[in-house]
Amino acid sequence: MLGYIFEAEAKTKSEAEEITLSTLRLTDGDLKFEIVDPGKSGFLGFTAKKPAIVRAYVSSKDLPAEKIIHGIVITILKKMGIEAEVVGMGDVDGKIYIELGSAESGILIGKRGATLDSLQFILNLMVDQKIRHGRKIILDIESYRDKREMSLIRLSRSIASGVAKTGRSRLLEPMNPYERRIIHMALQKDEKVFTRSEGNGTYKRVRVISSKDRHKYKDVENKNPDLPDDDDFEA
């Protein structure tokens, strides 16, 4: 885990501390500060001013996990050179959901959400499970994940319709476990097709197959045909 939960810079140390407390909506008693750089004033206009940099550490045992996560998220993004803010955070179905707001949302999302997934992965590694009480952190921006889910559901149904008509299976693009789960669940009750994951690693591919060909796949013959592999149920 990151030792400090927030890093701020300003003209002076005091201003940097005020920015930290204001951003995280905390008080002096919740944090202790370390001066990374005291800053430096320009000399008669000939040298550039150097900002003061401070880092904030948790000093209160009662500090909510959400406050710690808030600080770490913003600090990571700042170090990436991206200005963003946390516009919403809460516990949903046993997971910590974070909604970001940024003018650079496209960069944060990346191709098919790859950058957002990577940031989410890093965040879950950096924030100790004891702090988040074993809950997984889900990172989102501009409701991208909801929009992506609806898009995948539409895609899966369209693909399933084609497979049922032609009898030819279709292999979808590589997806993370969360997205594969969406495909599996969307087609779970479709009696004309079944799904399975193929490949290794995190980004496997879902194959949509005609139910008429179930006998060709020995690994699914003795399973409930509506259920995908266990790893695809991981959000």
Distances (CA, A) of 57 to 3, 6, 63, 87: 7, 7, 11, 22
Judgement on whether residues 202 and 166 belong to the same structural domain of the protein = yes
Q: How many folded domains does the chain comprise?
A: 3
Is the Cβ–Cβ distance between 99 and 90 less than 8 Å?
A: no
* Residue 121's CATH number: 3.30.300.20
- Model pLDDT for residues 45-86, shown as the tens digit of each residue: 554 578 899 999 998 888 888 889 999 999 999 989 998 999
- Model pLDDT for residues 136-172, shown as the tens digit of each residue: 999 999 999 999 999 999 999 999 999 999 999 999 9
Judgement on whether residues 115 and 138 belong to the same structural domain of the protein = yes
Judgement on whether residues 2 and 49 belong to the same structural domain of the protein = yes
DSSP 47: S
79, part of any domain: no
Q: What whole-number distance in Å separates Cα of residue 16 and Cα of residue 55?
A: 9
- What does pTM read for this prediction? 0.74
Amino acid 154: pLDDT: 97
74, part of any domain: no
Q: What whole-number distance in Å separates Cα of residue 106 and Cα of residue 113?
A: 9
CA angle 52, 58, 64 (to 5 degrees): 125
71, part of any domain: no
19, part of any domain: yes
76, part of any domain: no
- Model pLDDT for residues 182-216, shown as the tens digit of each residue: 999 999 999 999 999 999 888 899 999 999 988 88
Judgement on whether residues 135 and 182 belong to the same structural domain of the protein = no
Q: What whole-number distance in Å separates Cα of residue 13 and Cα of residue 147?
A: 42
Judgement on whether residues 135 and 121 belong to the same structural domain of the protein = yes
31, part of any domain: yes
Q: Is 96 left (phi over 0), alpha (psi -120 to 50) or beta?
A: beta
Tokens 């990172």, located at residue: 139
Judgement on whether residues 14 and 47 belong to the same structural domain of the protein = yes
Judgement on whether residues 95 and 129 belong to the same structural domain of the protein = yes
Amino acid at residue number 164: A
78, part of any domain: no
164, part of any domain: yes
Is pLDDT of 42 > 70? no
Amino acid 233: pLDDT: 39
Judgement on whether residues 220 and 157 belong to the same structural domain of the protein = yes
Amino acid 174: pLDDT: 92
Q: Among the three residues 126, 142, 158, which one is the final residue of a domain in this structure?
A: 142
Nearest to 197 by CA among 188, 207, 187, 189: 207
Q: What whole-number distance in Å separates Cα of residue 170 and Cα of residue 184?
A: 14
Amino acid 148: pLDDT: 93
The residue range of the domain holding 207 is 146-233
